[in-house]
Amino acid sequence: MSRALEGLNPERVFYYFEEISKIPRCSGDEKRISDYLASLGRELGLETIQDEALNVIIKKPGTKGYENSPTVVLQGHMDMVCEKDENVVHDFSKDPIRLIVDGDYIKADGTTLGADNGIAVAMALAVLESKDIPHPPLEVLITSDEEAGMNGAKRLDPSNIRGKILINIDSEEEGTVLVSCAGGQRNLVTIPISWETLKEEGKAYLLKTKGLQGGHSGSDIDKGRGNANKIITRILAFAKDECDIRLAKIEGGSKANAIPRNASAVVVVKDKDEESFLQAVGYLKEQIKKELKYGDPDFELEVTALDERIERVFSKDSFNKVIAALTLIPNGVQTMSSEIEGLVESSNNMAVVITHEDKVTIECALRSSVASLKENIAMKIKAVSEIVNGEYEKSGDYPAWEFKKESKIREIFQKVYKEMFGKELKVEAIHAGLECGLFDEKFGGTLDMISFGPNMYNVHSPQEKLSITSTQNTYNLLLNVLKEIK
C-alpha cells in the first residue's frame, strides 16, 4: 500500500512521522505510542527505559571517534493536541491521522496534524536507527502528556539522564533558536447554578461562533485572534441588557492550550422581545466583525431559531453570575516584556467553558516569564471566582526557563547555521511553555539547553501544517550540530 509521504526527504524522518501518525496519541492516551517507541528502541538493540509516566528514554553510544564526546539529550514529546473541524468525522481514540501533501506542506484532513511534536520524535528515531550518521553518545528523551501540563517531564527521574547538553526539538520557526520560555499554570473556576422551569412561552435560539482561527494559546495569543468564549459572552451580556432573555446552556473551547474557536449558547427570548433580541445580536455581530477584520476576518455568528421547547433555564441569579465571571476573567495579552521587544510577558487564555448539571466550569491557561505576574493573574481569576461565590483551584504549574548568558550548545548552533546558510541564526525567547523550564529546575540548572524546530503553522488547530523544505533544513542542521560535538 502506498504511503502518503512516500518520496519525501529526509526519507526516514517522514517514514517515522507517518508511522507515529497511525497511532492515537492524544494527551492522556499515550500508552500505545509509548509502547511503540520502547519496542522500537529494543528492536534496535539500544538501552531503553520506559518509566511509570510512560516517558521513553533510548540511549545510543557515540559513533567511531565520538565515543568519549559529551552526551547529548535529544528531546521531544509524544502526545499531541487533538482538535478537529466541527463537520469532520474522526475518532482520535482509534483513527489514524489522515496525512495530505499540499505543495511544500504536510497537513491533516480536518484535524490537527500532530507535527507538534511528532516531528521531533521522527527526527530522533531516524538518528537512532542510522548506521552512517556521526554523533556523540545520545539519550533520546520522549516525554508524555506535555500538552496537558508537562506531566511526563514533571515525573521524570533525573537519575535516568546523564547528558548535560539538551536539544529540545519543540519549536516552530526555522532559523530561530529559543533560549528562554514562559512558565504556566491552569486555573479552574466552578460556579454553582440553579435552574428554573419556564412558565412563559418564548422562542429558543442557538447562537454559535463560526470561522475563528484559534491557535496556540502561547505563540498565537498576540495575533489579534478572537476568543470564542469571550465573544459569545459579550453577545449574551449585550442582548441581556437590551431585552428579556434566559440562558439554557453555554459551552465553548475544548483544550486549555488552544485559543477557543467555537462557542455556543442556547437562549429563550420572550415573544415580545424577539425583534429587539435579533437586532441587538445582529448589531454586535457586525461590530465584532469590524474589530476582527485583521486578526480573524472570517468570523461569523450563526443565529438559529430552534423548534424544540426549552423546559428549564438558568435562574436569573445564576445567569448573572456566569456572565459576570466570563466577562471579568482576564483574557489575552496582559503585559509585554520591557527587556525583549515584541515578547509577550504574561497572558491568559479563557479556554474551556462547560455547562454541567449543577455548575458551569471555566478553565484557563495562563503563562508568564515572570513568576510574580503569573501569580497576579491567578489572583485576579480567584477574585472573580469569589465575587460570584464560585470555587477556585489551580494546577499544572510549571516554571519559566530563564536565559543563560553562557551556552556552548548555542555557540555551536550559531556557528553551524552560519556555515550552512550564510546568515546569522536568530536567538529568541518565547511566550509559549517548553519542558526546558522543568528540566532546568529538575536538574538544578546544570543543563546547557536550546530549542529549535522546522516551520509549522497554526498548531493546536485543524489548520496545522508542516513545511517539508524546512524539515529538511532543520534535520540537516541537527545532523551537522551533532557532528560538531566532539
Q: CA neighbours within 13 Å on the CB side: how many for 383?
A: 9
User: What's residue 149's pLDDT?
Assistant: 84
Specify if 327 maps to a domain.
yes
C-alpha cell at 478: 541537527
- 349, 382, 398: which is the final residue of a domain? 398
User: What's residue 356's pLDDT?
Assistant: 98
Look-up of cell digits 426549552 = 310
pLDDT at 199 over 90: no
Instruction: Residue 170: give its domain's CATH number.
Output: 3.40.630.10
Torsion of CA 458, 461, 462, 464, to 10 degrees: 30
- 349, 369, 398: which is the final residue of a domain? 398
C-alpha cell at 21: 501518525
Q: Is the dihedral of CA 290, 292, 297, 298 positive or negative?
A: negative
Residue type at 363?
Answer: E
Give me the number of domains the chain comprises.
Answer: 2
Sequence-ordered alpha helix ranges (H) in 183-293: 228-242, 274-291
Specify if 2 maps to a domain.
no
C-alpha cell at 151: 506531566
Q: What are phi and psi of 392, to 5 degrees?
A: -130, 140
Specify if 1 maps to a domain.
no
CA angle, residues 3, 128, 69, in degrees to nearest 5: 155
Mean pLDDT of 16-39: 98
Closest CA to 397 of 431, 363, 438: 438
Gyration radius of the chain over CA positions: 24
C-alpha cell at 355: 455547562
Instruction: Report helix, strand or coil for 377.
Output: helix
274 and 391 in a single domain? The answer is: yes
Closest CA to 178 of 464, 449, 466, 465: 449
User: What's residue 476's pLDDT?
Assistant: 98
* Residues labelled as active-site residues: 79, 146
In whole angstroms, give the CA distance from residue 410 to residue 139. Answer: 19
Mean pLDDT of 144-161: 95
CA angle, residues 132, 47, 16, in degrees to nearest 5: 55
Contact of 187 with 366, CB cutoff 8 Å:
yes
Specify if 6 maps to a domain.
no
Torsion of CA 161, 436, 454, 145, to 10 degrees: 80
Mean pLDDT of 316-337: 98
Residue bearing the bigger pLDDT, 325 or 1: 325
pLDDT at 474 over 90: yes
221 and 316 in a single domain? The answer is: yes
Mean pLDDT of 45-53: 98
CA angle, residues 361, 29, 478, in degrees to nearest 5: 110
pLDDT confidence of 1, banded at 50, 70, 90?
low
Look-up of cell digits 511509570 = 52
C-alpha cell at 273: 422581545
Q: 381-392 as b/e, with b when 16 or more CB fall inside 10 Å?
A: bbebbeebebeb
* pLDDT tens digit sequence for 373-421: 999 999 999 999 999 999 999 998 999 998 898 999 999 999 999 999 9
Specify if 4 maps to a domain.
no
* pLDDT tens digit sequence for 418-449: 999 999 999 999 998 899 999 999 999 999 99
Specify if 213 maps to a domain.
yes
81 and 23 in a single domain? The answer is: yes
125 and 137 in a single domain? The answer is: yes
DSSP 425: P
In whole angstroms, give the CA distance from residue 120 to residue 94. Answer: 22
196 and 141 in a single domain? The answer is: no
pLDDT at 217 over 70: yes
pLDDT at 212 over 80: yes
Look-up of cell digits 506535555 = 146
* Residue 255 exposed, middle or buried by CB count within 10 Å (0-12, 13-18, 19+): buried
Domain limits at 366?
Answer: 185-398
Instruction: Residue 215: give its domain's CATH number.
Output: 3.30.70.360
- What lies within 8 Å, CB to CB, of 132 at 6+ separation is none
In whole angstroms, give the CA distance from residue 315 to residue 397. Answer: 35
Specify if 347 maps to a domain.
yes
* Residue 91 exposed, middle or buried by CB count within 10 Å (0-12, 13-18, 19+): exposed
135 and 107 in a single domain? The answer is: yes
Residue type at 427?
Answer: V
3-state helix, strand, coil in the chain (%, to 5): 30, 30, 40
192 and 302 in a single domain? The answer is: yes
Mean pLDDT of 263-271: 96
Look-up of cell digits 530561530 = 176
What is the greatest pairwise CA distance in the chain? 84
232 and 324 in a single domain? The answer is: yes
Mean pLDDT of 349-370: 97
Look-up of cell digits 532543520 = 474
Specify if 3 maps to a domain.
no
| Mean model confidence pLDDT for the chain | 96
376 and 313 in a single domain? The answer is: yes
- 368, 398, 428: which is the final residue of a domain? 398
365 and 470 in a single domain? The answer is: no
196 and 236 in a single domain? The answer is: yes
pLDDT at 121 over 90: yes
Mean pLDDT of 60-78: 98
User: What's residue 2's pLDDT?
Assistant: 78
CA angle, residues 14, 17, 21, in degrees to nearest 5: 140
164 and 16 in a single domain? The answer is: yes
DSSP 321: H
C-alpha cell at 302: 450563526
Mean pLDDT of 217-235: 96
Q: What are phi and psi of 316, to 5 degrees?
A: -60, -35
